[in-house]
Structure formats: structure tokens, C-alpha cells
Amino acid sequence: MPVYNHAKQVYADWGVDTEAAIQRALALPISIHCWQSDDVNGFETHDGTTDSGGIMATGNYPGRSRNGDELRQDYDRVLSLVPGEHRANLHAIYAETGGKPVGRDELELEHFARWIDWAASKKIKLDFNPTYFAHPLAASGYTLSHADPVIQSFWIRHGIVCRTIASGMAQALGGECVINHWIPDGGKDATADRWSPRKRLVEAYDELLNESLVGCTDAVESKLFGLGSEDYVVGSFEFYLSYALSRKVVLCLDMGHFHPTESIADKLSSIMQYQDRLLMHTSRPMRWDSDHVVVYSDDLRAVFTELQRGDALDRAIVALDFFDASINRIGAYVVGIRATRKAILNALLDPTLTLQKLELEGKNAQKLGLMEELKTLPFGAVWDELCSRANVPVGKAWISEMECYEKEVLSSRT
Ligand SMILES: [Mn+2]
């Protein structure tokens, strides 16, 4: 392609190999969350509560998936529109129990048999998440840190069965299954005891993570605040940073779980001095943890550029976490996944050594100048080439495919 050949030459003049960048960008797995397809509803028969533990998908655009078959149908279409290596990320509430109510603390691998069969047929791996929210026993706002040992132990048992399921998924599909633990626990206002819940949370995790399971990679995810936990979140950043370091589990950073002006990118070179791996949830907060669809923003580029500059891309586990119920959900997926892959490619095209050398030599105007020029290099041509090689639509061509799918499939879901 002449446009790509020109771009390849332009980057070569900067000392950047576009061929190597395309190959590496395609190979880095992105774990696609299942919950954008159905607005975090899940397949359980709820007994009364729709409380979702401080997260909320707003909007009522038609066409959300209503069962496993529809969700997998959505996955299939999405996977045909996005380039590169992918994984599928499930929550426990996406168990398929054949209509039989099964307690969260009684879930078994067999309830995910259809997911495993599907993943095997697609040659993709599964990741997993316990669902510590949207449940009557989470209605108080506390789960693993609950003061009532009966409720706390229910959630510990849920964590344990989920780890067993994750290990089973890993063994069935090969490789590892990353299981991410996020809890909504916290207080709305003027919390008088911020100590006891955190002490109980340490004890709960120590119990549920006690056993080492084949293929099960545990991660823990912090948060700043949630709906109903504005004043106090038990699992804060400091809590989990310390927990992950002392217990040797993976830390998860969600781009929506920090102060709006806080740079997640700047944390990476600190945390990764001590942590081998890091789970990144790409999300887009708008004024708060709003979980907007990820776009190709400065924040997203900064995260992946920072990982590349530290030669740490291979130590990052990349997963998506957003949900917008107000737009076509296939479109939401494709925009977020392609934006994340673009940011990975952009990072791999960074002339890191050149920039770092100028900085070391004190040539900071030259460095700033190059960084500005970098912004208008023909990145789009390299991105199009990546899509073309992955046999997915180039440029905006995916939009008409989304529209076809809406007409043929989504419009009949009423
Ligand atoms: Mn997250």
C-alpha cells in the first residue's frame, strides 16, 4: 500500500520500525469485558435487589443481550471488527444454570461450560471476576469487610468458588485465567470507623486467597469512591497497593478509579519497580467514575506510552472496563477496543531512545520539538495497515457493519 510505504519510511527516519510495531501491537492480548453487551445485568434470577454496588449503566438503547447465546453472538460480531489478540472477561453473574437458582457461593465450573466451549471454538482464553455486588447480601454496602461474620463468610465462599472456577477455565483452555477482585464496600457519609472494615478485609482476602490454584492469577482493584460510598471506600488505592505488595498478588489500576486530574500513567514507573505485573482496566471517567466508552485520548495514550518507555508492555495485563447503555453496544465495544489497540500501536511507534537521549544531554527544546512533531506523523496509515493485515475493516468501514447487525439482529431483541 503506497500510503503505508510512505508512513513506514517516515517512521524509519525517526529510527522506528513500523513492521515490528504492528506485529507486537497485534500480539498483545486485550481482554474484552462481557458486561457492555447487557448493561451489567447478568443472567441471575434476582430476588428483589437491583442495587449494583455503586456502578450504574445509564441509557436504554434497544438491543441489549438477554442471555448467553445473545451475548456470545455479540462477541462474535465484535471480534470480527477489531484487530489483534483478544480474551473474554466474564463476571460470576454470567453463569448459565439452566434456569435453576444457584447461590453465588455454590457456583461451579459446569455453570460456565457453555462459555468454555465457545472460547475453545474461538481459540480465545477466559478471564473472570467474582460478583461482589447486585445481591441482597450486598445491600448494606459491605461484603468482604462486613461486620456480620455470616455475611462476610458468604462473600468469602463466593470468592473461593470463583477462584476454583477460574482455575478450571485456565486448565480447560490452557494458560492462565486472570481473576480480578473488586468490592463495592464503603460508607456514604461521616464514617466513624474506617479501621475495622479494612482489618476485616485483610483477613477476608487472606482466607480466600490462601490456596494457590493452578492457572489462577489473582488481581485486586482499588477505587476512590462509588455511588453510596462517597465518603469512604474500604478497598482504597493505598489499601490494595500495600495488600498486593505484601501478598504477592497483581494490582489492578482502573483509569476511572482516581481523582479526575490524577495521572494514572505517572503511577506505573513507581508501582512497577516493585510489581512484576499490573492489570490495567481501560475506562474513561467523565467528571467521575462514569465508565464512558474508551476513546483514543491523551490519558489512554499516556498510559501505554509510559508502559512502552519502561519496556513494561509485556508485564501489563490489558482489560477493558466500561459500559454505556445509551448507544449501540456493538459500537461501544468496537470504539473502546480499537482505541485501546491504537494506543498500544502508538506507544510502540514512540522513538523512546531518541527522546530519552536528548533529555539526558539536556537538549530539552529539541526533545519538546520532536514530541510536537511526533503528533502529526502519519500514524493513521500504520493503523490502517494493522487493521488490513488482521483482516478487519479498515477506517470507518466497521460502522456500516454495525448498522447491518443492528438491523438484522439487535432490532429483534425487544
Ligand atoms: Mn475496573
Q: Where residue 303 sits, what CATH number does that domain have?
A: 3.20.20.150
Structural domain contains residue 361: no
Interatomic CA distance for residues 42 and 65, integer angstroms = 10
Structural domain contains residue 323: yes
Range of the domain at 183: 17-348+378-412
Known active-site residue 223: yes
Give the chain's radius of gyration (CA, Å). Answer: 22
Known active-site residue 254: yes
Catalytic residue among 111, 257, 267, 367: 257
283 alpha carbon – ligand 1 mean position (Å): 7
- Rounded to 5 degrees, what are φ and ψ at 8? -55, -40
- Confidence class of residue 47 from pLDDT cuts 50, 70 and 90? low
Structural domain contains residue 325: yes
- Provide the residues around ligand 1 (an ion) whose CB is within 5 A: 254, 281, 321
Mean pLDDT for 337-365 is: 98
pLDDT cut 70: percent of the chain above it = 98
pLDDT digits (tens, 9 = 90+) for 250-263: 999 999 999 999 99
Angle of helix 329-348 versus helix 397-408 axis, rounded to 10: 160
Mean pLDDT for 130-144 is: 97
The helix (run of H) or strand (run of E) holding residue 347 is: helix 329-348
Asked if pLDDT for residue 31 goes beyond 60, the answer is yes
Asked if pLDDT for residue 233 goes beyond 70, the answer is yes
Give the pLDDT of residue 278. 98
Strands (E), 269-364: 278-282, 284-286, 288-292, 316-320
Known active-site residue 324: no
Determine whether 228 is exposed, middle or buried from the number of CB atoms within 10 Å of its CB (0-12, 13-18, 19+): middle
Asked if pLDDT for residue 52 goes beyond 70, the answer is no
Asked if pLDDT for residue 394 goes beyond 90, the answer is yes
Known active-site residue 321: yes
Mean pLDDT for 179-188 is: 98
The string of DSSP letters for 152-176 reads HHHHHHHHHHHHHHHHHHHHHHSS-
- Confidence class of residue 414 from pLDDT cuts 50, 70 and 90? confident
Asked if pLDDT for residue 350 goes beyond 90, the answer is yes
Give the pLDDT of residue 54. 63
When the pLDDT of each residue in the chain is averaged and rounded to a whole number, the result is: 96
Structural domain contains residue 76: yes
Give the pLDDT of residue 48. 42
Strand, helix or coil at 93? helix
Structural domain contains residue 200: yes
Asked if pLDDT for residue 51 goes beyond 90, the answer is no
257 alpha carbon – ligand 1 mean position (Å): 8
What is the distance in angstroms between the CA of the first residue and the CA of the last residue of the chain? 44
Asked if pLDDT for residue 325 goes beyond 70, the answer is yes
Asked if pLDDT for residue 246 goes beyond 80, the answer is yes
Known active-site residue 281: yes
Cell numbers describing residue 145: 469487610
Interatomic CA distance for residues 212 and 167, integer angstroms = 10
236 alpha carbon – ligand 1 mean position (Å): 13
Q: Of 276, 265, 158, whose CA–CA distance to 217 is shortest?
A: 276
CB 111 within 8 A of CB 55: no
Mean pLDDT for 65-76 is: 98
Structural domain contains residue 246: yes
Asked if pLDDT for residue 208 goes beyond 70, the answer is yes
Handedness of CA 108, 114, 120, 122 (dihedral sign): negative
pLDDT digits (tens, 9 = 90+) for 276-304: 999 999 999 999 999 999 999 999 999 99
Q: Where are the alpha helices (DSSP H) in 36-174?
A: 68-79, 113-122, 149-173
Interatomic CA distance for residues 250 and 119, integer angstroms = 24
Strands (E), 184-254: 186-187, 216-221, 232-233, 250-254
Structural domain contains residue 11: no
359 alpha carbon – ligand 1 mean position (Å): 35
Q: Is 0.95 surpassed by the pTM of this model?
A: yes
Mean pLDDT for 367-373 is: 98
Mean pLDDT for 16-42 is: 97
The helix (run of H) or strand (run of E) holding residue 126 is: strand 125-129
Structural domain contains residue 219: yes
Give the pLDDT of residue 36. 97
Asked if pLDDT for residue 27 goes beyond 90, the answer is yes
Mean pLDDT for 166-174 is: 98
Total tally of structural domains belonging to the chain: 1
395 alpha carbon – ligand 1 mean position (Å): 28
Please give the distance of CA 152 from its chain centroid, rounded to a whole number.
Answer: 26
366 alpha carbon – ligand 1 mean position (Å): 38
Q: How many CB atoms neighbour CB 43 within 10 A?
A: 17
Interatomic CA distance for residues 231 and 324, integer angstroms = 25
Known active-site residue 13: no
pLDDT digits (tens, 9 = 90+) for 262-275: 999 999 999 999 99
Catalytic residue among 38, 39, 51, 254: 254
Known active-site residue 289: yes
363 alpha carbon – ligand 1 mean position (Å): 39
- Confidence class of residue 53 from pLDDT cuts 50, 70 and 90? low
- Of residues 414 and 199, more confidence is placed in 199
